[in-house]
Amino acid sequence: MALWKILVKNNGNAPCTDKRQRLEKGMFVETSTTSTTPPLGLTREQPLLASLFTSKYGINIDPHKMNGSYFICERIG
């Protein structure tokens, strides 16, 4: 089991489903996975990560755009 922190790289609205919503650099969510593979690269984890941003910040992120272009994935545990 691993604990991960998913951080927003830069300000912008590129991965949001609603263009009026913006991501700010430094926003983050934390999640755990059963494997040591980073969750950003796993298709099955993307909807979970998008829902974590929605529940924490109220921002609707397109799960298909949850990748290394917009986010940084750090292992914290």
pLDDT of residue 48: 92
CA distance 67 to 77: 21
Question: What residue ranges do the domains of the chain occupy?
Answer: 2-75
User: Any residues with CB less than 8 A from the CB of 42 and at least 6 apart, and which?
Assistant: 33
Position with higher pLDDT, 65 vs 7: 7
Burial of 44 (0-12, 13-18, 19+ CB in 10 A): exposed
What is the pTM assigned to this prediction? 0.88
Query: Could you report the per-residue pLDDT of 16-74, keeping only the tens digit for each?
Result: 777 778 889 999 999 999 888 889 878 889 999 999 999 999 988 888 888 888 899 99
Give, for 33, the enclosing helix (H) or strand (E).
strand 28-33
pLDDT of residue 7: 95
